[in-house]
Amino acid sequence: MAEHKKVRKAVFPVAGLGTRFLPATKAVPKEMLTVVDKPIIQYVVDEALEAGIEHFVFVTGRNKHIIEDYFDIHFELEQTLRERSKNAEITLLAGQLPKAGTVSFTRQQEPLGLGHAVWCAREIIGDEPFALLLPDMIMKSDTKGCMKGMIDLYAQSGGNIVAVEECAPDQAHKYGIVGVGDAIGDGFHITGMVEKPAKGTAPSNFFINGRYILQPEVFKILETQERGAGNEIQLTDGMLKLLKDQDFSGYHFKGTTYDCGAKDGFILANVAFALERADIRPTVIDGFKELLKGL
């Protein structure tokens, strides 16, 4: 098996305004909204950590300083916890704190799309492959995390990887869909990609779910990429150009994805992760049984 350049860095595009969660996101970034007792972004960072990512690159915008503060030491809080002998809380905070020098922040000054946000990280990523994790998406699996599975597939295939899931065929027009080629590991070679195909024209029912491993050549493509849908620089357009010269594989993720950028997905994520918590599970179950009476 050929060795491929290690994926050490991950990009998290967190510059979005979160308008679907107004008024909450008027003052709090959507990535800092909590699922049970952890911010959405912490779940995504934990997924990257499990996969062996060593450097975390956040592409931020105005009013996102709270994210930067979250991944830093809070001296006053920790001092107060020590004075009150809150040892469990101190250990909890220490566990979520990245090592010094492993986190970088860069600004996307204008909301020009996902492709532009990725391009903004080019100087920090440099000439090496990188992971890209959309921070709205929380992945839940009973085995290994989505990005860990992608890293394992990358060790076999190299090239570029996108995570995919299956949807009902009559729903394929709502997603970015990939064409399915020969099987490889826990996935397959991708033969093509199309964004929201017209009904009845989708090449498969495998949709892109918000996790990527990309080669650095995508930066050069995005640098001159014309604006596409929504008058934004679309990552899919850049990947389609890269597909002409490089291999793409799809990692078939078989867990559950919660779109926490949508209210229903956010609520379902809270329920799903609350039911995994032994300390609150009985109360949550009883509460839901009561709420569902008569529906």
pLDDT in tens, 242-271: 999 999 999 999 999 999 999 999 999 999
Residue 28's nearest CA partner among 38, 36, 39, 37 is: 39
- pTM assigned to the model: 0.90
| pLDDT-above-70 percentage for the chain | 97
Domain ranges of the chain: 9-292
In this prediction, residues 200-205 reach a mean pLDDT of 87
User: 1: pLDDT confidence band, cut at 50, 70 and 90?
Assistant: very low
Q: Topology of 9-292 in CATH?
A: Spore Coat Polysaccharide Biosynthesis Protein SpsA; Chain A (3.90.550)
For the chain, give the percent of residues with pLDDT over 90. Answer: 53
